[in-house]
Chain A
């Protein structure tokens, strides 16, 4: 259990601010403006005593996963209190948490939420919509809300916390669930949406799937979809006229 150094209401305000910190995302300093914006807020509210010059330096290049930004803020403040160059730690932790966060939020959680809500949609579209928003954002808000405290408590050893909760294992479990659920979704989709489904039609779908697997590494998805759509269109035009 990590004790909080800031009040709950302040943590909530930090969460809200972290939702907009990427507003000035650009090719020069990427999230640098946003990092300064959040750090300036913490410095003003909690009188951490960061000098203006040092604060201004944080507008420089910075990029991380947006769902883990509050962790970096906590780590930064802890390192500052310990008289260690906090910007050096930021340089290390920005990409490190970016890799961790991208892998979990973009690579696992997003597809997982999609596949599960795609299954639910066959039963209730409203429930599916609620599920998607709630399920994803439970993780989103949990990490943003508690990130500052955890980062501040562990400092440069924050990675220990991720090891403690077996964060990388979540991806492995998540991917098994995704693949399995995708199978369920596909069979439901074909049974519900394809009229007069029989073994011949099923075989055609299997061939399309296997043929696409052969070209997956050769051409990208945009080209593949354009190709298939064009072929289907040509076939239909020939058939109709």
Chain B
């Protein structure tokens, strides 16, 4: 049952991200929370989701630009964590490294689905009975299938690679996740250019208040 859920989830994530819905089910933090609540109760999954959300939130889908597939990286990483392939800091760092590399191919796959859509459109472009419903349904179906194939292949590949490199190390994943999140936060803060140096003041104020709250 859980496998069927995961397979359907990958298809929906791909559609939500690229072709339809835009309900934000495909956001890394949402994917990681779904995993946390329904698959594996591990805080590492949430930390990974936060890391990839910070990574992807600054990559805006404007014009023909295809944003880096942060949903793919989160899904593969969450699967690897849920299946027990990430059990120490070394495996965690390796997981981040590999999923960043694999993400390139997932983003490339999205480019190909758009090319397939173009071929389909060009085929019926000048037909008298031009049916947009047909093209749209087909586009969504292709995206759904792409999601299932690419995301799950990526997850399997990541698990195989992580299991292949079985090294012993300490279990201090939280610390390493926080270092990488700090790196991504610097990019996230730099993304807001409207206030100049004032933005660091707002950030610092928030940090100090947060420090007092917790």
Contact = CB atoms under 8 A, between A and B. Distances in A.
Given A28-B122, A36-B132, A106-B60, A23 B137 contact: yes
A145 B188 CA distance: 31
A37 B180 contact: no
B27 A132 contact: yes
Contact of B190 (A27, A37, A195, A216): A216
A212 B178 contact: no
Interface string A148-166: 0000000000000000000
Nearest to B190: A216
B187 A216 contact: yes
Nearest to B115: A27
B185 interface: yes
A97 interface: no
Interface in A185-231: 185-195, 205, 208-209, 212-213, 216-217, 221-222, 224-226, 228-230
B135 A128 contact: no
Contacts of A125: 33, 36-37, 46
B20 A114 contact: no
Contacts of B54: 114
A117 interface: yes
B30 A132 contact: yes
A114 to B, nearest CB: 5
Given A175-B195, A233-B93, A28 B118 contact: yes
Given A28-B121, A121-B33, A180-B205, A195 B175 contact: yes
A110 interface: yes
A179 B121 contact: no
Interface stretch (B6-14, B62-70, B79-87): B62-70
B194 interface: yes
A240 B167 contact: yes
A221 to B, nearest CB: 5
19 contacts: A19-B21, A20-B136, A23-B19, A23-B136, A36-B130, A98-B62, A125-B37, A179-B195, A181-B206, A183-B209, A205-B179, A208-B182, A208-B183, A209-B183, A222-B68, A225-B183, A229-B180, A230-B97, A232-B93
Interface of A: 19-30, 33-34, 36-37, 40, 56, 59, 63, 66-67, 98, 102, 106-107, 110-111, 113-114, 117-118, 121, 125-126, 128-129, 132-133, 136-137, 140, 171-172, 175-176, 178-195, 205, 208-209, 212-213, 216-217, 221-222, 224-226, 228-230, 232-233, 236-237, 240
